[in-house]
Structure 1
């Protein structure tokens, strides 16, 4: 309930939401608009031909340079919006990183995106060129396999690029977290501490990885700020995702979704009127790249609210799991209060924003659910 927070805490969270949401949404709209503008007009084909010409104008040059150009353009148009959001959050004490560090992170993200996108798109267009009529069938299988591989490799290869991780020091906190996982029947490889304080004051913890790569990760900000029992409640929630196989299920659903999206792209890029509108001779023509990117972005935008709805249900189930594992609703509620206040969350955001963008239930709803559980198990 809103009454669980002071008037000042509620007002602060709402003020941050009102200050940053227009920029967050604006960045998404402008990015989508850029891709649509390039993909459904000859302008995108012109960009691909132009940047490909800088590297000789061959089919390979157009595929690789065109892909890089789309990635870089997307980053450039999003940059002012991301910078503004960072400025807003810094004004509320949520940012500890200097602008130089933020710029390095932006460049690092761009580099990772290019390293992933260039070989994938090149392989995709080689496949389209070799099998122009049924390319989307093997491509769908490849997309699904890529999602599974990235889910397994992300904690090993990607996460260390942005945070430093160290083993949690032996002691009561580490022993309590390992005992919690053992009691829950979840095998974890290790308990790590992420140096999140280099970037933010926000609190968080998570369980990442599949199988042999699974580990509990706690932000150093959480360990410094929260009570030990509250840390256990946060980790218990994350263990709920493992117990209910949410990571595995999410990976499988992501793989299926990627395969379906590739099939949809195959159908859309096979429509000659769309290709004509985009200024491309066929699906294997590198000038169809902007059309492919625009269709993919539109599919992602349309499916976003449904993905958020599923995510909120999964998070609510993980909350119930934390309550059942610990049997401590009072500390769970205290933990939700601490997270909401420390992260300057809007504890009860407008319903439309929740439906469109929220991946987690609001703090008010999570606390209310905990009280319902408490009453049922009194």
Structure 2
């Protein structure tokens, strides 16, 4: 056990050094020379101080992302190899003779342990965002959101754990298939209730107060055959200075949502472009394409997890203190494999998402026909969130579900030049 712990700590430390070298030393900043001075060059729309803060903030946040992703895997591995997971199962077994209650107790202790150990890292992220004036929340308000996160995730995951292990115990060879089949209605249900049950736990939503702007947004929605009756505003200014807008939910619970920070900092023309972009996702059925892609990857992923868990328990069961896949003790191994496969598949998922975002951008520019407002909206988004305009390649591959701001402004510029040339 000492040998495995020492080896894993050394590998994690080496990985952290490589990430640090890549982000802080190897990766360059700025835009390619041919585009210096263009509207995609941050030096044309950011002050010198904003450029410096943007580079610092983005690099630190990227570093934290890459080192904290495997940290949870490492933590779960330690929980297994030290026998903590087995001890928590023993505690849960004496609380009740009902497996559902045993599962709830086991997952509570597992969630609590992970949350407590991970709290310093979460707090560091909050402090960094606060120091760069991205986060505006007070510590008490942030802690409230952390507690809501814990209990919402615990409630949802407890249901998943109970159903998952019931399936494993009942259908040990085909549990992955039945789990996937049940995940379809469960995922659709969550997407349906999220706008009305989950999101309001964190923020207050209300109809857009600027009725003149709402009418213009709804006119674009009507032109796109989107059955929207209201545009919702959310009071994010008490939490952040960043800007955002989105469409959430499915069916009758679909909502068009604008952050009040976006309303306060963008012009009407810029807001209309942003909203047309969000409507583009609806028109092009991106949410359903995303669901289909998620279902395909989850089916493949659950099958791979099934095979790997069987293999690893057979080869390393004594080291991990796991006797069978049917034990709750094995759940951290399931989470490790799920996390690794999710991270490994993120470049593919992000590539598809970036293609969809570009399609929505082009839809929005066709709807609004205002290149100037489109470009200035992206520039202001970058300034408000201290976003890196042209991030390192690995950051883009693993983190960016949207094209980089450099790419977005560049292809909008090219579109504007084509339109000017055709007139």
TM-score exceeds 0.5 = yes
Match of 1:249 among 289, 292, 295: 289
Are the counterparts in 1 of residues 192 and 250 from structure 2 also a CA contact under 8 Å? yes
For the pair 1:138 / 2:150, whether they are aligned, the reply is: no
Match of 2:253 among 213, 220, 223: 213
1:191 match = 231
For the pair 1:81 / 2:121, whether they are aligned, the reply is: yes
Give me the whole-angstrom Cα distance separating, in 1, the residues matched to 2:77 and 2:369.
Answer: 50
Q: CA deviation at 1:276?
A: 4.4
Are the counterparts in 2 of residues 180 and 236 from structure 1 also a CA contact under 8 Å? yes
Q: CA deviation at 1:179?
A: 0.5
Please list the CA deviations of residues 4-60 of structure 1 after superposition, one character each: whole Å capped at 9, or x if unmatched.
333523322112112333223332231121123335x36354343354256358755
Please list the CA deviations of residues 156-190 of structure 1 after superposition, one character each: whole Å capped at 9, or x if unmatched.
21111111100113622011100111112222242
Are the counterparts in 2 of residues 44 and 278 from structure 1 also a CA contact under 8 Å? no
Give me the whole-angstrom Cα distance separating, in 2, the residues matched to 1:81 and 1:149.
Answer: 32
Under a length normalisation based on structure 1, what TM-score does the superposition of the two structures give?
Answer: 0.93
SS at match of 2:88: helix
2:398 match = 356
After superposition, the Cα gap between the structure-2 partners of 1:308 and 1:72, relative to the gap in structure 1 and judged at 3 Å, is farther
Please list the CA deviations of residues 65-110 of structure 1 after superposition, one character each: whole Å capped at 9, or x if unmatched.
2222232233223321221121111122212211001001001000
Q: CA deviation at 1:217?
A: 0.6
Match of 2:299 among 259, 263, 266: 259
**5+ residue gaps, structure 1:** none
Are the counterparts in 2 of residues 144 and 259 from structure 1 also a CA contact under 8 Å? no
Give me the whole-angstrom Cα distance separating, in 1, the residues matched to 2:240 and 2:401.
Answer: 20
Written as runs of structure 1 = structure 2, the 5 A alignment for 1:223-372 is 223-271=263-311, 272-372=314-414
SS at match of 2:95: coil
Give me the whole-angstrom Cα distance separating, in 2, the residues matched to 1:322 and 1:115.
Answer: 38
Give me the whole-angstrom Cα distance separating, in 2, the residues matched to 1:54 and 1:97.
Answer: 42
SS at match of 2:83: helix
Flag as ranges the 4+ runs of structure 1 deviating above 6 A: none
Give me the whole-angstrom Cα distance separating, in 1, the residues matched to 2:271 and 2:62.
Answer: 29
SS at match of 1:269: helix
Aligned residues: 377
2:13 match = none
Written as runs of structure 1 = structure 2, the 5 A alignment for 1:59-208 is 59-60=99-100, 62-169=102-209, 171-208=211-248
Q: CA deviation at 1:62?
A: 4.5
Give me the whole-angstrom Cα distance separating, in 1, the residues matched to 2:260 and 2:384.
Answer: 14
Q: CA deviation at 1:213?
A: 1.1
Deviates more, 1:251-260 or 1:341-350: 251-260
2:79 match = 38
Q: CA deviation at 1:274?
A: 4.7
Q: CA deviation at 1:277?
A: 4.1
Please list the CA deviations of residues 273-295 of structure 1 after superposition, one character each: whole Å capped at 9, or x if unmatched.
25444322222122211211211
Are the counterparts in 2 of residues 148 and 252 from structure 1 also a CA contact under 8 Å? no
> Which structure is higher in RCO with an 8 Å CA cutoff and minimum separation 6?
1
Under a length normalisation based on structure 2, what TM-score does the superposition of the two structures give?
Answer: 0.84
Give me the whole-angstrom Cα distance separating, in 2, the residues matched to 1:310 and 1:274.
Answer: 36
2:8 match = none
Please list the CA deviations of residues 97-152 of structure 1 after superposition, one character each: whole Å capped at 9, or x if unmatched.
11001001001000001110112111111121122222222111012322222122
Give me the whole-angstrom Cα distance separating, in 1, the residues matched to 2:87 and 2:403.
Answer: 42
Give me the whole-angstrom Cα distance separating, in 2, the residues matched to 1:60 and 1:185.
Answer: 46
Deviates more, 1:27-36 or 1:240-249: 27-36
RMSD: 2.0
